[in-house]
Amino acid sequence: MIRVLNWEDLQNGPLYKGNTAVTIGVFDGVHRGHQALLARISARSPALIPTVVTFKKSPKENASYRGDISSFDEKCALFEEAGVEFCVIIDFSKNFSRMSGRDFVNSLKVYLSCAYAAVGDNFYCGFRRDTGAEAFKALAKERGIEVEIQNRVLEGGKPVSSSRIRECIEAGRFEDAHLLLGRKLTRRALYIH
Answer whether residue 188 is part of any domain.
no
Answer whether residue 124 is part of any domain.
yes
Answer whether residue 183 is part of any domain.
no
Coil, strand or helix at 131: strand
Distance CA 65, CA 37 (A): 24
Model pLDDT for residues 13-27, shown as the tens digit of each residue: 777 788 999 999 999
Torsion of CA 136, 109, 83, 32, to 10 degrees: -10
35 is in which domain, residue-wise? 3-10+17-151
Answer whether residue 127 is part of any domain.
yes
Distance CA 102, CA 179 (A): 36
Answer whether residue 79 is part of any domain.
yes
Distance CA 102, CA 107 (A): 9
Number of domains in the chain: 1
Q: Starting from the edge strand earliest in sequence, which strands make up the sheet with 86-90, in order?
A: 3-6, 86-90, 49-55, 20-24, 114-120, 146-150
Model pLDDT for residues 31-50, shown as the tens digit of each residue: 999 999 999 999 999 999 99
Answer whether residue 38 is part of any domain.
yes
Q: How much is the mean pLDDT over the chain?
A: 90
Name 11's Cβ contacts closer than 8 Å, sequence gap at least 6.
111
Q: How many CB atoms sit inside 10 A of residue 158's CB?
A: 10
Answer whether residue 157 is part of any domain.
no
Domain CATH for 57: 3.40.50.620
pLDDT of the chain, 193 residues: tens digit per residue: 899 999 888 877 777 788 999 999 999 999 999 999 999 999 999 999 999 999 877 666 555 566 789 889 999 999 999 999 999 999 877 778 899 999 999 999 999 999 999 999 999 999 999 999 999 999 999 999 999 999 999 999 999 999 999 999 999 999 999 999 999 987 555 545 4
Torsion of CA 11, 116, 1, 61, to 10 degrees: 70
Model pTM? 0.92
Strands 124-125 and 131-132: antiparallel
Answer whether residue 167 is part of any domain.
no
